[in-house]
Amino acid sequence: MRAVSHAILESSTLCDGPLLEVGCGGCAFLRELAKKHPRHPTLGIDSNQAALSTPRNSGSGQPPLAQADLHNLPFADNSLAGVIGLDAFDQQGVRLNTALIESRRVLTTGGVLLLRVSAYPWLRGEHDRAFGTERRYRAKEIRISLRQAGFKIGRLTHANLLMLLPAIALRLAVMANIASVEAGFSPARALRACLIIMLRAESTVLRSVGFPAGLSLYALAEKDAA
């Protein structure tokens, strides 16, 4: 999914300035971001201090981190070239419209917002509760919210298409008490390898083509000068 995120972000033109990842967690994506965009300072915030304090988030090569939330970003107006939120804007306690307006505030004119949220409200279930997802969104909801917050939408696409049908099957199995989902779920090595191959293939396609369906919903938007 990180490869998918990079592919979609790279379809935009970044203006000068720092890039911020909100909800950076273990910082795997943030470190990749720093390598892929060496001309842009990279920053990370997360509301969870425990995530920021992990050993992998220490060291001389680690981008600057701070504890903060989406509603009160500790940055000046018009100071950032990009804000990236991957599975952050749909988490428990996040007010989407407030978070989008705050993201727009800190972006410079022409700055980009890349967000990823879980798709389809009807898929909400045990998996979302286990992983802290408060809401799943329709594409129309994200489109309206972005426009109301003052963004011009460049791309709006689903991703994780190949796992949609298995996810629906699992949801039905959970509803029928045939299966359950645990927060500590880890796929077998062979299954993990297959999933990685599928998602890397999707990332190649998503550089130029959008998907009409998928478990995740991506939006790439620009701060509208108006």
The residue assigned the tokens 């045990």 is 126
Lookup: tokens for 143: 């489109």
Domains of the chain, first to last: 2-223 (3.40.50.150)
CA 133 distance to own-chain centroid? 12
Among 14-23, 107-116, 124-133, 172-181, the range scoring the smallest mean pLDDT is: 172-181
Rounded Cα gap, residues 167 and 140, in angstroms: 22
CA 30 distance to own-chain centroid? 12
Average pLDDT score over residue span 166-191:
71
Task: Look at residue 147 in the predicted model and tell me its pLDDT.
Answer: 96
Report whether pLDDT(175) > 80. Answer: no
The residue assigned the tokens 């470190």 is 31
Report whether pLDDT(2) > 60. Answer: yes
Task: Look at residue 185 in the predicted model and tell me its pLDDT.
Answer: 57
Rounded Cα gap, residues 176 and 172, in angstroms: 6
Rounded Cα gap, residues 144 and 217, in angstroms: 14
Lookup: tokens for 12: 């935009």
Q: Can you say whether the dihedral through the CA atoms of 170, 175, 177, 180 is positive or negative? A: positive
Given a contact cutoff of 8 angstroms between Cβ atoms, the answer to whether 112 and 93 are in contact is: no
Report whether pLDDT(171) > 90. Answer: no
Highest mean pLDDT: which of 121-130, 151-160, 173-182, 183-192? 151-160
Task: Look at residue 191 in the predicted model and tell me its pLDDT.
Answer: 77
Report whether pLDDT(184) > 60. Answer: no
Strands 42-46 and 80-86: unpaired
**Per-residue model confidence as pLDDT tens digits over 201-215:** 999 999 989 999 999
**Per-residue model confidence as pLDDT tens digits over 18-31:** 999 999 988 999 99
Task: Calculate the average pLDDT of the chain.
Answer: 90
Given a contact cutoff of 8 angstroms between Cβ atoms, the answer to whether 137 and 121 are in contact is: yes
Task: Look at residue 186 in the predicted model and tell me its pLDDT.
Answer: 62
* pLDDT interval class at 181 (50, 70, 90): low
Among 45-49, 69-73, 123-127, the range scoring the smallest mean pLDDT is: 123-127
The residue assigned the tokens 């500590």 is 184
Report whether pLDDT(128) > 70. Answer: yes
